[in-house]
Structure 1
Amino acid sequence: MFGLKFIPIIASLASSAWAAPKNTISCSVTSPATTSTTSPLPTVDLGYVIQRATINETGSYYNFSNIRYGAPPTGHLRFAAPIPPTTTNRTVNDGQQGRICAQAAPYWYEIMEYFVAGSDAATLAYVEEELTAVEDALTIAGLAAPDPRTTEDCLFLDVIAPKNIFEAKKGAPVLVWIYGGGYTGGDKTSAGNPASLIARSQVDGGEGVVFVALNYRNGLFGWLSGSKFNEAGGVSNAGLYDQRLALEWVRTNIHLFGGDPSRVTVMGESAGAGSIMHQITAFGGARGPAPFSQAILQSPGFSPVSGNAQEDATLEALLTSAQSLISSNITSVAALRDLSFDELRGLNAITVARSYYSQFTYGPSVDGIFVPKLPGVLMLEGKFDKNVRAMVAHNSDEGIIFTSPFLQTEAELVANVKTIFPAASNATIDYWAQVAYPPIYDGSYGYTTITERAALFISEVSFTCNARYTDLAYGNETYSYYFTVPPGFHGEDVAYTFFNGDTTTSDDGLPVNATVAETMQRYITNFAMSKTGNPNGKGLPFFPKYQSNATVLVLGDTDFGSLTTDPVANSRCTWLQTAPYA
């Protein structure tokens, strides 16, 4: 969920291939092998570090890679809010030492891959049995070495600036990417190479954009929360504070790279877009505007965790796992803070691997400060930055890849909902089962089987209704598109956002529709470059605002450029926005 990348877990979990997801392409435009040496490469003095660029073979883009934006979140800063760099290093940094935060992925990914590929019940049962055996045998000592870039000192970002923009220093628009990955995996390079997206911004004399991608702490490193955690000196939702610090760094420093700090568009898919919802609603809007003026939210995703009880239980389960896997003496947050990075990284990997189907164990939650209430509720109450201009999107089948194929009866389905929402009252569960998502399989509610019913619920509660809340919050003045290229699964549109001309680059091996991809990139870059947040442009299908009739632009194979009514403009989303399960 939330921007996942598929990982073959049966083959790798026992030795644990907790490395970068497959099919990832560095967002760095250049590498040392392609760096030009015919002329001196530019440097930027940030005060605390001097950063040198690399350049691609044509000389079109400068890449300032692996720029530190935060002090190492280690020692007493582990589980704490990040702080700006505290040391000065005048040695020129060429950015060639890659940095990513600790990675993890749940074991149910493997079952999901077999499920969506059409495997029969016997095969799925066998896969589950094999994975359960692997899961039960996991030990930290048995984990393979991680991606060599992995480090706890991972608060770094990349800036990629077209050469003409960097040299002119006239203040070009800025596009900041926040990656998805279930809040447990991913990094600033995992979505793809932004070179084509940047080039698209300069087609037909376009102004162009400066591109930024940032790391934030994943898993337990960035997303532990709850009253017990806070009492022990931990800061809930540290990952959100990481993102905030990076965005403030952009606002302060991007002019040095040719960008305009007043024209920052933040963009993300899944957990990246869910993070953006939390940034828009940060502190309930009580601490001033967000450090960006525009936002592109693609399938904004997160599991809504509404209070301390669930997070306290997560912490207790983590400590129990630590006692089993590392030492019986680990009974507190202080003891977790004293563990080595390798121990904590391994503990994180194993606890995420054991996540309940469709879940990731760690992620944003209501903490009373950065997240005073769930983002949908804050938007409903008008407690957010109302001056952000937004473009919003969701896909046609967001939920199926998070839906357990083992849900076969009404009782199993209701038990699944209770597991996802442990604080929900019996009355809420009854309303869910009888009114909001009743067992009526004639298609009138959007499903004809138990699996489809469960998938629709996961889709709406974790993704599509979040898009709807954002559209409504901005008075229907948003631009909203509906991605329907088959199969329309969650995350399929990332290959389109970072399309590089290769029509075989989607995660599931399906071909990428070049027309849809190039159009999406033009909408994205037009929106970022427009001072009014308008994605329309010459030669593109007209993209209207959402309006009171919930109009969305369809981006699909057969209905490309058509308009339809948003399917999540429904009473279920209206009910879910009030957080009845809290």
Structure 2
Amino acid sequence: MLATLLIALGCGHGAGGDRAAPAAKPADPAVAPTAAGTLRGVVADDHRLFAGIPYAAPPVGPLRWHAPEPVAPWPGVRDATRYGPRCMQELGGDLELGRQTDEDCLNLNVWTPRSASDRKLPVMVWIHGGAFVNGSGRIYDARRMVARGDIVVVTINYRLGALGFLAHPSLGPPGQVGNYGLEDQQAALRWVHDNIAAFGGDPGKVTIAGESAGGMSVCDHLVAPGSKGLFRAAIIQSGPCQAQARLPVAQARSIDYAAGFGCADPATAARCLRALPADKLRKPVWFYGIGDDQLTGPVTGSQTLPTDPVAVIDEGRAEHVPVLIGTTRDEFTLFVGMQYVRDGKRYTPADYPRLLSATFGEHAPAVARHYPLSNFPSVPVAISTAVTDGVFACIGDRLAHSLARDDGGAVYSYEFNDRNAPAPEPLRTLPFPVGASHSLELRYLFDTGGAPALDPAQLRLSEQMIDYWTAFVRTGDPAASGQPEWKDLAAGNAVMSLQPDGSRMVGDFAQEHQCGFWAGLR
């Protein structure tokens, strides 16, 4: 959800697939051939960047709410020195200062080391967060990661909000509506498989990675039939993987959404919706609630995502690949803080039962007894602690252990625990501590701009995290020379606590976050 603050292996098919192989790499490191045409990017002292590369046809007109189609070839050399448009999203409070958004937004960015053009390097495909309603790949400057870690990084855009996930039954055959944004991600992965060798990347060594909505997307790709074979490892950062809407719920909400635009007649709804100006569709359709926050996003029980990913992972039926998975120590303080700053919400003790009920439903009374308000200095701290534990930390711990039971690759679990991590300016004035909140680990991996600079100890932690992450991308194991040993879960049920005063393996994560209690509520 960083954007809220700042605002493979397999056969190619569909968008980016079934194309001729790119031509031989030219000598000029600023030039790269792809199946659709030649690109000219930027070459700097320590990296190369090819930006705004279209990976699918513009999803406009009859292709609105349609699976992504192949991009049309272009003549000559296409400029790839500037980022492409972000996907359509609400602009209120947009800290990206209203930079261009467009319905024609299916583009990606390729970051490589300076000398990558003649090598085959492992690849990380980064899926941005933002509750599936905002954000873009341009936020994540990966120059430090590619230069220090000697990997290729691809950051992608995908359709968001109503344009990405509206599940109105008139838009397609039964069970084939919604999930257009998830299909975009699959199209981007196929593009990587077909084209990344021209940038010095190895299509057989692709790791998918993401945070928040991006982390949830990675969970989905672990179980989605159309994602099989497109990656060999996965990184899940702060992904609330259980926050998926079932198809009947998503369809009902989508019907109500369409009716609000005068598109209530089932016989004409699809034509009516596709005739609406894109600007009218910036408003998201909401499928799932966590407290006073709402999500849209992937729909289960559909052709693209037949089954809830948490259930599939629990049953040991997810893709068997190495996984690096974790959360931050104080996940939900970000959301409560944004409600305080952005919406002016000042929670009182009378609000606590409602907030618990909005998130935990029938289990709210039990949660209230286990997290009594009297144990906390304020309502924001109480609700943040309960949601951090119940929605993020213990779900992540449960998934990690379920994945570790598989006969696939090892699972490496972490907690980002710098409780003095720099936060964006609006959150530095809150009357409660932000701590190691949701998304604050991202600027230790990428240059995301904003917020105070990291201090020397935090810079060392940043370098350590980049070493761990890129080692995992290279080998499926975060073992990094000169850094503390990171053991997989099978080696002792321990979690790597990432701290500026010295990262180390800890064995009390589940006790700290009350995971025994949460397991009893399932």
Whether TM exceeds 0.5 here: the answer is yes
Give the aligned partner of residue 425 of structure 2: none
1:143-158 aligned within 5 A: 146-148=98-100, 150-158=101-109
Whether 2:307 is the aligned partner of 1:373: answer yes
Give the aligned partner of residue 154 of structure 2: 212
- C-alpha change, 1:575 and 1:243, in structure 2 (3 Å) is farther
Describe the SS at the equivalent of 1:89. Answer: coil
Give the aligned partner of residue 316 of structure 2: 382
- C-alpha change, 1:44 and 1:101, in structure 2 (3 Å) is same
Range moving further from structure 2, 453-462 or 394-403: 453-462
Give the residue type in structure 2 aligned to 1:541: P
The structure 2 residue matched to 1:398, chosen from 327, 331, 335, is 331
The answer (yes or no) to whether the contact 1:549–1:565 under 8 Å persists in 2 is: no
Give the aligned partner of residue 35 of structure 1: none
Give the aligned partner of residue 128 of structure 2: 179
The CA deviation string for residues 292-333 of structure 1, in whole angstroms up to 9 with x for no partner, is 11112111136724423432342244234434xxx9999824
Give the aligned partner of residue 199 of structure 1: 147
The answer (yes or no) to whether the contact 1:103–1:218 under 8 Å persists in 2 is: yes
Give the aligned partner of residue 340 of structure 1: 277
Q: Distance in 1 between matches of 2:121 and 2:381?
A: 45
1:221-260 aligned within 5 A: 221-225=163-167, 227=169, 230=172, 235-260=177-202
The structure 2 residue matched to 1:363, chosen from 297, 305, 311, is 297
- C-alpha change, 1:462 and 1:218, in structure 2 (3 Å) is farther
1:92-171 aligned within 5 A: 92-104=77-89, 146-148=98-100, 150-166=101-117, 168-169=118-119, 171=120
Query: CA offset at residue 214 of structure 1?
Result: 1.0
The answer (yes or no) to whether the contact 2:327–2:414 under 8 Å persists in 1 is: yes
> Could you tell me the TM-score, scaled by structure 2's length?
0.80
Query: CA offset at residue 557 of structure 1?
Result: 3.3
Q: Distance in 1 between matches of 2:369 and 2:453?
A: 33
Give the residue type in structure 2 aligned to 1:456: T
Query: CA offset at residue 343 of structure 1?
Result: 3.1
Give the aligned partner of residue 132 of structure 1: none
Q: Distance in 1 between matches of 2:296 and 2:106?
A: 19
Give the residue type in structure 1 aligned to 2:182: L
Whether 2:362 is the aligned partner of 1:454: answer no
The structure 2 residue matched to 1:479, chosen from 387, 393, 412, is 412
Whether 2:394 is the aligned partner of 1:408: answer no
Q: Distance in 2 between matches of 1:302 and 1:175?
A: 20
In the alignment, structure 2 segments of 5+ residues that lack a partner are 8-26, 340-344, 420-434
The structure 1 residue matched to 2:397, chosen from 452, 461, 468, is 468
- C-alpha change, 1:336 and 1:305, in structure 2 (3 Å) is same
Give the residue type in structure 2 aligned to 1:174: V
Give the aligned partner of residue 441 of structure 2: 493
1:21-40 aligned within 5 A: 21=7, 40=28
Q: Distance in 1 between matches of 2:518 and 2:303?
A: 25
Q: Distance in 1 between matches of 2:194 and 2:369?
A: 48
Q: Distance in 2 between matches of 1:65 and 1:510?
A: 27
The answer (yes or no) to whether the contact 1:226–1:367 under 8 Å persists in 2 is: no
Describe the SS at the equivalent of 1:173. Answer: strand
Give the aligned partner of residue 299 of structure 1: 238
The answer (yes or no) to whether the contact 2:126–2:156 under 8 Å persists in 1 is: yes
Q: Distance in 2 between matches of 1:361 and 1:483?
A: 24
Q: Distance in 1 between matches of 2:317 and 2:305?
A: 11
The answer (yes or no) to whether the contact 1:225–1:236 under 8 Å persists in 2 is: yes
Q: Distance in 1 between matches of 2:480 and 2:290?
A: 45
The answer (yes or no) to whether the contact 1:303–1:359 under 8 Å persists in 2 is: no
- C-alpha change, 1:356 and 1:165, in structure 2 (3 Å) is closer
Give the aligned partner of residue 134 of structure 1: none
Describe the SS at the equivalent of 1:88. Answer: coil
The answer (yes or no) to whether the contact 1:250–1:261 under 8 Å persists in 2 is: yes
Give the aligned partner of residue 440 of structure 1: 372
Describe the SS at the equivalent of 1:5. Answer: helix
Query: CA offset at residue 228 of structure 1?
Result: 6.1
Give the aligned partner of residue 77 of structure 1: 63
The answer (yes or no) to whether the contact 1:304–1:374 under 8 Å persists in 2 is: no
Query: CA offset at residue 229 of structure 1?
Result: 5.5
Describe the SS at the equivalent of 2:75. Answer: strand
Whether 2:76 is the aligned partner of 1:88: answer no
Give the aligned partner of residue 53 of structure 1: 41
Query: CA offset at residue 456 of structure 1?
Result: 3.1
Query: CA offset at residue 542 of structure 1?
Result: 1.4
The structure 2 residue matched to 1:545, chosen from 473, 488, 492, is 488
Describe the SS at the equivalent of 1:318. Answer: helix
Share of identical aligned residues, percent? 25
- C-alpha change, 1:306 and 1:65, in structure 2 (3 Å) is closer
Q: Distance in 2 between matches of 1:516 and 1:358?
A: 33
- C-alpha change, 1:103 and 1:244, in structure 2 (3 Å) is same
The answer (yes or no) to whether the contact 1:357–1:402 under 8 Å persists in 2 is: no
The answer (yes or no) to whether the contact 2:176–2:304 under 8 Å persists in 1 is: no
Describe the SS at the equivalent of 1:474. Answer: helix
Range moving further from structure 2, 480-489 or 355-364: 355-364
Q: Distance in 2 between matches of 1:511 and 1:392?
A: 26
1:520-559 aligned within 5 A: 520-530=465-475, 533-547=476-490, 549-558=492-501
The answer (yes or no) to whether the contact 2:175–2:301 under 8 Å persists in 1 is: no
Describe the SS at the equivalent of 1:252. Answer: helix
Give the residue type in structure 2 aligned to 1:315: S
- C-alpha change, 1:566 and 1:84, in structure 2 (3 Å) is farther
Describe the SS at the equivalent of 1:161. Answer: strand
- C-alpha change, 1:104 and 1:572, in structure 2 (3 Å) is farther
The answer (yes or no) to whether the contact 2:215–2:241 under 8 Å persists in 1 is: no
In the alignment, structure 1 segments of 5+ residues that lack a partner are 8-20, 22-38, 114-143, 202-207, 422-428
Query: CA offset at residue 180 of structure 1?
Result: 1.0
Give the aligned partner of residue 63 of structure 1: 49
- C-alpha change, 1:101 and 1:235, in structure 2 (3 Å) is farther
The CA deviation string for residues 221-263 of structure 1, in whole angstroms up to 9 with x for no partner, is 1122265655699721111111011011111221122211111
Query: CA offset at residue 189 of structure 1?
Result: 0.9
1:13-24 aligned within 5 A: 21=7
Describe the SS at the equivalent of 2:216. Answer: helix
1:271-310 aligned within 5 A: 271-283=213-225, 289-301=228-240, 304-310=243-249
Q: Distance in 2 between matches of 1:409 and 1:340?
A: 43
Give the residue type in structure 1 aligned to 2:83: G
Superposed CA RMSD in Å reads 3.4
Q: Distance in 1 between matches of 2:290 and 2:495?
A: 33
Q: Distance in 2 between matches of 1:437 and 1:380?
A: 28
The answer (yes or no) to whether the contact 1:366–1:372 under 8 Å persists in 2 is: yes
Give the residue type in structure 2 aligned to 1:482: E
The answer (yes or no) to whether the contact 2:247–2:302 under 8 Å persists in 1 is: no
Query: CA offset at residue 407 of structure 1?
Result: 4.5
Give the aligned partner of residue 428 of structure 2: none
Describe the SS at the equivalent of 2:126. Answer: strand
